[in-house]
Chains A and B, each alone.
Chain A
């Protein structure tokens, strides 16, 4: 077993264990921290696969961005110390069974499939990615790039509108809940 393989299995163990802890830990804040480690492990996996650029993006966006806003929101919603409500044991059992079933199904599929691995070198330098990102010809990704830009813009505006709403349009909401109760009564 080479060091290369050992590193992979260590990373895999890190990712899976912290991921599992993240979804089972009853305390929200601890979950977020475990998620953070899991994401860092995935970034390490990208390094291991020689996809340094992706690993960098992973760290900067996920670890530096998403996990941070998740933690922010945990504090904003005063959930930091709280334990999440546990669900019915029967449903937990069902969920475990479903997940196991899915795993087995996927394992069987993956193991039975004959992947033809290529022997070419995997050369991922940043200029190549940058050029492909704005290229319009074959192998270019300028259109998805634009689409994603617009999506991000829309999401940004959407976030602002949704988050602002309660302070600006409180009367409307009252009206809304009022009309909802009216419908309810009807």
Chain B
């Protein structure tokens, strides 16, 4: 099917931005880099939107099913006949949806950064990194096979590393970027092994082929994958779980989440783009991409469900206690991604049962808008207050009315108050969990209440609580900072009204989502209750928060210290791995491996020193040696060995 060749340009325009600004930016475009980046991204976004329009409304739907379209494909590396790594662009509902999300959020961040990063010394470098990231993320979502996805996955990781460590003069930024890279890299190890296992049993790297081979229950590939087992778990489950491990690393799922809060060291617009809206949902996207396999394999889907659910609750609890506003947002992001994960975990493959899948993608979609709005709003605040701490803020609503309004809309959206975007997607998730299990539903409900509470705690702490009495004079930013806030606020308010099920569903068949009014009452009440509690505690300065903290005692302290996860990791790495694995092997390497090599070298050196004298360059001495040799041979052969 033709007509989609232009999607290639959506990938290449950011690359142009990256190369142009990366190579020549600092010299020639140090001022205009931002405009160039924005312009190219504008084209990319326009193309993405056009693609989405064409796909969803013109010719994507054939016989009631959204087709998978290979817009572009070529064989890149052939290992053996039939096994090759392809490069391609595959369009299906979720990839087209992600195309729109990534490019539009990236555009907003590009525009916002015009004001936010102004006067930065490495302004052009920053934009070139943004271009690289956008390229990598777009490449990831349109990948037609696992290996291509893995490559873009790593590319996303490296651009995230570069952007977190953008202010490399700060030791904390360097440490954070290293941490993010190492943790995700560790997870990617699992991902790679998983890819290889799936490719081995599926006989291909191509998504469609793998799914086809492994989901037909009578096929030999499926039988091979389910009969081979390791530690009592079938190969297919291992493969899928390991792939999920990669996804969990990127999406900051417990216990691989430790890097995300630290990643907030990056410039705030970067956090909005990478660590809120796009890269961190790559794990969700990955699971969704392989969803037919997960759905067939109960054990691995169970893992997805439980990890998602636990992370959602765990992160929400921590978010209630943090005082750094970006960290609150980071934990909130983790919690929301947990929502998406467990929504996938409760989903089935057919019709109404597939609601979880649709809900997850829907939440991903709406979350991208309101969370990037929250981050950009927080960025605007931080930009003018010069602090991340809540205690330095308060009463800002008078100084920054537009930011205040946008932030409020985003908070309402994430808290699930109708008619804002988050309400609809969260409703669908809750409905899907309710159909599956009452316990999951209960936990999800508690978490969404907590969400409302901590978001409004944040909101009141920033904009109300007390009169602003800081040293700097906060004010609204430039036009370039306002526009993205306005656009995203409008989106956050309205995208929930899109009948999402008609576009994205598990079988790619349009799904009619019903809206149950009675069902929605409880979540709304809980959300409003969360908001009210936050209002009581944080609207005005009072000692209720302290009382509350005391009431919870140790639990509060543990949550405030993020349940000591960082300390646990440090303990494991320093005291166990470094001490018992690293040091002995370093010793072994130094003493035994290097030592033997050194000894061989020394031996050679000593020998050469010893026999160097023989090669004196003196002809007569050689003649004597020669004569001695012959005399020896004569004695040996004529007299001794006669």
- A residues sitting closer than 8 Å to B (CB atoms) are 94-95, 98, 101-102, 105, 109
Contacts and interface: CB of A to CB of B under 8 A. Distances in A.
Contacts of B638: 109
A105 to B, nearest CB: 6
Contact of B635 (A95, A98, A105): A105
Contacts, number: 13
Nearest to A94: B624
B578 interface: no
B634 interface: yes
Chain B residues touching A, majority SS: helix
Contacts of A102: 627, 631
Nearest to A112: B638
A166 B638 CA distance: 49
13 contacts: A94-B624, A95-B624, A98-B624, A98-B627, A98-B628, A101-B631, A102-B627, A102-B631, A105-B631, A105-B634, A105-B635, A109-B634, A109-B638
Interface in B606-642: 624, 627-628, 631, 634-635, 638
Contacts of A101: 631
A102 B634 CA distance: 10
The 5 closest A-B pairs by CB, nearest first: A109-B638, A105-B634, A105-B631, A102-B631, A98-B627
B629 to A, nearest CB: 12
Contacts of B624: 94-95, 98
Contacts of B631: 101-102, 105
Nearest to A99: B627
A39 to B, nearest CB: 22
Nearest to B634: A105
Interface string B235-274: 0000000000000000000000000000000000000000
A98 B625 CA distance: 11
A128 to B, nearest CB: 35
Contacts of A109: 634, 638
Interface in B94-144: none
Interface in B567-625: 624
Nearest to B628: A98
Contacts of A95: 624
A105 B627 CA distance: 12
A124 B638 CA distance: 34
Contacts of A105: 631, 634-635
B626 to A, nearest CB: 11
A126 B638 CA distance: 38
Given A98-B624, A98-B627, A98-B628, 8 more contacts: A94-B624, A95-B624, A101-B631, A102-B627, A102-B631, A105-B631, A105-B635, A109-B634
Contacts of B628: 98
Nearest to A106: B634
A144 to B, nearest CB: 25
Contacts of B635: 105
B517 to A, nearest CB: 90
Nearest to A109: B638
Nearest to B635: A105
A105 B634 CA distance: 8
A101 B624 CA distance: 12
A109 B638 CA distance: 8
